[in-house]
């Protein structure tokens, strides 16, 4: 298996229109970074032609790889599977709507190359620039406050879909990650901090996309996940 410097992953569920922008912009940004790369589209049970669109890209660019699942697995499982199939020394992922400005990709990857184990974009730091609805802003701040309160995290934003990891580090972390879906992001960051790893957070420009696959039950479910993780860390451990 030929190694590359960067594995970039885009989790996808019924996002064919967003892919028409995300794939070419990703390739452009990764080429500009100047290191060898692969772009994995972790397509998860889509029915809108997303799979077929990625297959077209595979045929014309060997750096693009489709990772298809017939059934909906959830974001976390899709990322776990992508990691197992990845060839990069650095593993990064970001949202298909490119809500986080892709111009931040060099910093995301560069922090890993400069010695960080994990790097993550943040929508909630002083110098971050975000555009989104008031209700989502309130929910995000409340959620992240609870993560810091119950799980002892020092970070401001745990759910920004713009993260990179040293691949060897992440392969150890996923052995302890329980979440199959959205809470995967938070769990990976909390576990990294608990392990004493170097986790760097930096401000980004972030714009809310026209749609989202995060539903109300996902938000309430992640609240329950915070309590479950607290129990695991503080009660079961003892």
Cβ neighbours of 207 (radius 10 Å): 13
Closest CA to 30 of 224, 195, 164, 169: 164
Rounded distance between C-alpha atoms, residue 16 and residue 238, angstroms:
47
DSSP, collapsed to helix, strand or coil, labels residue 223 as helix
* Segments forming the whole domain that contains residue 132: 4-236
Total domains present in the chain: 1
> Which residues are tagged catalytic?
185
Q: pLDDT for 133-174, tens place per residue?
A: 767 788 888 899 999 999 999 999 999 999 999 999 999 999
How many helices (H) does the chain have, and how many strands (E)?
8, 9
| CATH number, position 44 | 3.90.550.10
Model pLDDT for residues 93-123, shown as the tens digit of each residue: 999 999 999 999 999 999 999 999 999 999 9
Mean pLDDT computed over every residue of the chain: 93
122 forms bridges with which residues in the sheet? 203
Angstrom CA distances, 211 to 18, 76, 96, 218, stand at: 10, 20, 11, 15
For the chain, give the percent of residues with pLDDT over 90. 82
Whole-model pTM over 0.75: yes
- Whole-number pLDDT of residue 135: 77
Please count the residues of the chain: 238
pLDDT tens column, 37-77? 999 999 988 999 999 999 999 999 999 999 999 988 899 99
pLDDT for residue 32 is more than 80: yes
């Amino acid at each position: 298996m030929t190694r590359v410097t960067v594995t970039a992953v885009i989790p996808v569920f019924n996002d064919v229109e967003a892919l028409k922008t995300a794939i070419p912009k990703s390739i452009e940004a990764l080429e500009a970074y100047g290191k060898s790369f692969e772009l994995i589209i972790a397509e998860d049970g889509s029915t809108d032609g997303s799979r077929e669109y990625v297959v077209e890209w595979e045929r014309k660019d060997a750096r693009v790889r489709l990772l298809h699942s017939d059934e909906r697995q959830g974001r976390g499982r899709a990322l776990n599977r992508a990691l197992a199939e990845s060839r990069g020394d650095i593993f990064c992922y970001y949202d298909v709507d490119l809500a986080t400005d892709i111009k931040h990709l060099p910093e995301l990857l560069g922090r890993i190359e400069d010695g960080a184990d994990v790097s993550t974009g943040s929508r909630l730091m002083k110098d971050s620039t975000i555009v989104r609805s008031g209700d989502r802003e309130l929910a995000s701040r409340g959620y992240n406050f609870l993560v810091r309160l119950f799980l002892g995290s020092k970070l401001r934003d745990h759910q920004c879909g713009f993260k990179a990891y040293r691949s060897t580090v992440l392969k150890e972390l996923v052995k302890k990650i329980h979440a199959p879906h959205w809470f995967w992001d938070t769990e990976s960051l909390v576990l990294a901090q608990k392990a004493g790893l170097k986790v760097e957070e930096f401000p980004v420009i972030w714009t809310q996309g026209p749609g989202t696959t995060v539903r109300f039950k996902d938000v309430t479910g992640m609240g329950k996940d915070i309590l479950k993780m607290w129990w695991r860390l503080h009660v079961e451990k003892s």
